[in-house]
Structure 1
Amino acid sequence: MSTVPLYRFAHARAGDKGNRLNIALIAHRAEDWPWLAAQVTEARVLALFAHRGATAVRRHDLPGLGAFNFVIEDVLQGGVNGALNLDGHGKSLSFHLLSLPVEAPAPD
């Protein structure tokens, strides 16, 4: 096992609606989905976005697609039109999720 950033094993797409962030996380290889599911939990994602005020995370599993959908509440500091920060909308935050460290299994 080695600790690596999540982006080595997945890519992401994001969007926002109001103060809610939606991130689709897609494994590069379907066979990596089970161990990613064990590590990229709602609790870890909530902790990763806590500095932005996130209050809840829901993960929807899509094993047939090798993907997850994360819905993160109250993370956009009031939403794109209400926040005073620069570029605080969802699309700029997908790579933050991809920076999450994961324990990758040794290659076969």
Structure 2
Amino acid sequence: MSAVPLHRLAHARAGDKGNRLNLALIAHRAEDWPLLAEQVTEARVLALFAHRGATAVRRYDLPGLRAFNFVVEDVLQGGVNGALNLDGHGKTLSFLLLGLEVALPEAAG
């Protein structure tokens, strides 16, 4: 097995509404979708965003699109209008997700 960043296997889109982050994760190749389904879990995504105060993650599987939709609660520090940080927009957080490491069999990727 070898560890690779998620961006090697997928791309992401993100948006925000209030204090809720919406992340779409789309596999580049259909054959990678099952591996992503196994490894990019709600628990791993919640742990990834824990430092930002995330309280819950829901994952919606979209196998026909080789995609997932993650809804992350309480992660935007109050939202764009309420956050004291420079950029509270959800779109900037897709890069954090794409840095998550996944394990590949040696022959894959």
After TM superposition, the score normalised by the length of structure 1 is 0.97
- Partner AA of 1:28 in structure 2: H
**Equivalents in 2 of 1:41, 1:69: separation in Å?**
11
Aligned counterparts of 2:105 and 2:23: Cα–Cα separation in 1: 24
How far has the Cα of 1:78 moved from its partner? 0.2
Q: Percent identity?
A: 83
Q: Which sections of structure 1, spanning at least 5 residues, go unmatched?
A: none
Task: Give CA deviations for 1:12-35 in whole Å, capped at 9, x if unaligned.
Answer: 000000000000000000100001
Q: Give the corresponding residue for 1:101.
A: 101
Quote the Cα distance in structure 1 between the aligned partners of 2:14 and 2:103.
24
Question: Does 1:60 pair with 2:60?
Answer: yes
Deviation at 1:104, TM superposition (A): 1.4
Q: Which portions of structure 1, spanning 4 or more consecutive aligned residues, are displaced by more than 4 angstroms?
A: none
Measure the CA separation in 2 of the matches of 1:14 and 1:106: 30
* Correspondence for 1:3: 3
1:58 maps to a residue whose letter is: R
Superposed displacement of residue 106, structure 1: 2.6
User: What is the CA–CA distance in structure 2 between the aligned matches of 1:105 and 1:62, rounded to whole Å?
Assistant: 24
The yes-or-no answer on 1:71 pairing with 2:71 is yes
Q: Which residue of 1 aligns with 2:26?
A: 26
Residue 105 of structure 1 and its aligned partner are, at CA, apart by 2.3
Partner residue of 1:85? 85
The C-alpha deviation readout for 1:60-89, integer Å capped at 9, x for no partner, is 000011000000000000000000001121
Unaligned runs of at least 5 residues, structure 2: none
Write the distance in 2 (CA, Å) between the matches of 1:102 and 1:58. Answer: 19
SS in 1 for 2:88: coil
Q: In the alignment, residue 41 of structure 1 is paired with which amino acid?
A: T
